Amino acid sequence: MAVSDPMTIDERRKYLAKMIPRYRQATRQEQSRLVDEMGVVTGLHRKSLLRLLGAPSLERHPCRSGRGRTYGAATEDVIRVVWESLDYLCAERLTPALVPTAQHLAGFGELRLTAEVEQQLAQISRATVQRVLGRFRQDTPRLPRRGPEQANRVRQQVPMRRIPWDTTEPGHLETDLVHHAGGSAAGDDVHTLQLIDVATGWSERVAVVGRSQTAMEGGFQRVLDRLPFPLKELHPDNGSEFFNDHLVRFFGEAITGLTLSRSRPYRKNDNRFVEQKNDSLVRAYLGTARLDTMAQCAL
């Protein structure tokens, strides 16, 4: 062992065992000096040394085995299927939906749901689901992320925040783009551009083909023509279809005093209202089929 290497726990205990007789026979002033010396040798804090010197024994307690796993692989497999089916919800929204969604998927043969697993899904806590989802995210492949030096320069100028849920002034809208590509991303497909007002719950949806500047600008213009109140803030996610020179210029020219904000990457809770309506107002009616023609925009 090198001289500079710190002492191991066992080496510290052996050293203290030899020093304890000297410590107990010393005067108060000598004890203070010995504690200082032992602190230099062992690297322990003075309070830790005093606790060990006053302990009945320096024997180390055996390690206690942790609590066994309550939820097995079968339960986690069901959680994964439900999580993927609901478009990777956060733990707060996923936990109360586990049992009904699992029962629904089991009815179509998408998963195997036993009575034991169903009981565990009913009693699992949000914190446990959060830990399980953390493991899922680690083994779920993602597209490579670009470094900060290559980040979208338009997006960098827009602050990240969350529109407060108790906002009372209409005009603060969360927005998102719902893809209708089916199982293929080839070519242009139909997208639903959806906007939700946080204060009133007013919702607007328009269909656009592709995500080009012309399509997105036309979709936003149709929404602006129908809104019953002025648009004060637009809050999308970090998609490049929202943050590019063309759309930022359009918002600057078409709307006076508009505030642009964005959610944090990979944080769907920052766009919670529109993410919820993506399922209940769009997917519930159109499903996951592929739409890729102008005629289907009128559906």
pLDDT at 183: 76
pTM of the model: 0.52
Report the amino acid identity of residue 32.
S
Residues whose CB falls within 8 Å of the CB of residue 39, separated by 6 or more in sequence, listed in order: 45, 46, 49
Side-chain-side CA neighbours of 193 within 13 Å: the count stands at: 25
Query: Who wins on pLDDT, 3 or 141?
Result: 141
pLDDT tens-digit readout, 5-22: 788 888 888 999 999 999
pLDDT at 67: 73
Query: Who wins on pLDDT, 154 or 170?
Result: 170
Query: Given a cut of 60, is residue 265 above it in pLDDT?
Result: yes
Q: Which of 20-29, 73-82, 249-258, 271-280 shows the lowest per-residue confidence on average (mean pLDDT)?
A: 249-258
Mean pLDDT of 218-247: 88
Query: Given a cut of 50, is residue 186 above it in pLDDT?
Result: yes
Distances (CA, A) of 272 to 80, 162, 227, 249: 21, 9, 21, 27
pLDDT at 60: 81
pLDDT at 229: 92
